[in-house]
Structure 1
Amino acid sequence: MRVGESYYSVPYALVGQELDARLSARTVEVFHRGERVAAHPRSVVPGHDQTVATHLPEGHQQQLAWTPQRLLDWAAQSGPHTHALVQAILDSRPFPQQAFNACLGVMRLGQRFGAERLEAACRRALHFGTPRYKSLESILKNGLDRQPLPSPDRTPTPPLLEHPNLRGADYYH
């Protein structure tokens, strides 16, 4: 719940319920129907978020056990491409925790398809510049991880278009 410029957690069962807050110089207390349901140290930092783990649903509490390093350690066990892909997913978000669901999804794909296929799919996703969960899932579902990657020297270059209306860079100088 938002109190002033900061956010404080309440038990997830009370989300959407009418709550009251009592502020003191050092504490924020939250009440539901006159019963105190949460107490937090008062934050003076605007936008600060204070969350008590027991206020989260069980599935979210389990996510608190994960850290970026733990995810990377797991990924490294699958292989260097899996490690690089998980690192790219973590780096794609301003806060690593925002990428945890995608990283845990990669982990589930590894359980479903096996470490060898996951590593091949990660290699393919990285090769094509698409290090995202959805891309990885598509590669595995369509069996593209079993296809060879195109070699750089065999990649056809598109022919240059010629047309009277197309001008080169020299035209503009």
Structure 2
Amino acid sequence: MHVLCDDVRIAAHARRSKGGPRSTLAGHLPEHCAELGQRSRACWEDRAAAIDPEVLDYVRRVFDQDDALSMLRPVQAIVTHHEKFPPEPERAVAACRRADCCGAYRYETVNRILVQDLDPQPLSSQTGSRHW
């Protein structure tokens, strides 16, 4: 696939063998996003562990949803989001715990829990039935 700007080819991306929505060349990432080119599961687990062991446990369960690295982007979003709020690791832990209790392994869910301030709420027996 070729990327054009004003009819000038500015990049060429090889076709993805398994399809998929995007193919990114590391050199095309903005400097602040270069870390997202890191595709090693161990790298993202190490970063999650630096936040809190419970965040690491949750990230491992997100990764375990699929044998391939198809859950890499959700993990990257969850970890980088939590890294932005280092003074409050207890919120990261609580949000991951709540999402895990609901069987929700997406960034959007963890973010919604934080935005709606549901993380400090006690977990009830109904939490598993997707009551964020």
Q: Percent identity?
A: 26
| 3-state secondary structure, aligned to 2:119 | helix
Relative to the length of structure 1, the TM-score reads 0.52
Of 96, 100, 118 in structure 1, the residue corresponding to residue 72 of structure 2 is 100
Residues 15, 78 of structure 1: CA spacing in aligned structure 2 closer, same or farther, 3 A cutoff? same
CA contact (8 A) 1:81 1:126 kept: no
Matched, 1:135 2:123: no
Higher relative contact order (CA 8 A, sep 6+): 2
Aligned counterparts of 2:54 and 2:67: Cα–Cα separation in 1: 22
For structure 1, which runs of at least 5 residues remain unmatched after alignment?
A: 2-13, 20-31, 41-45, 156-173
Aligned counterparts of 1:74 and 1:52: Cα–Cα separation in 2: 23
- Match of 2:29? 57
Superposition RMSD in Å: 3.6
Matched pairs, number:
117
- 1:150 Cα deviation (Å)? 1.6
| 3-state secondary structure, aligned to 2:73 | helix
Matched, 1:79 2:52: yes
For structure 2, which runs of at least 5 residues remain unmatched after alignment?
A: 19-23
Greater share of strand? 1
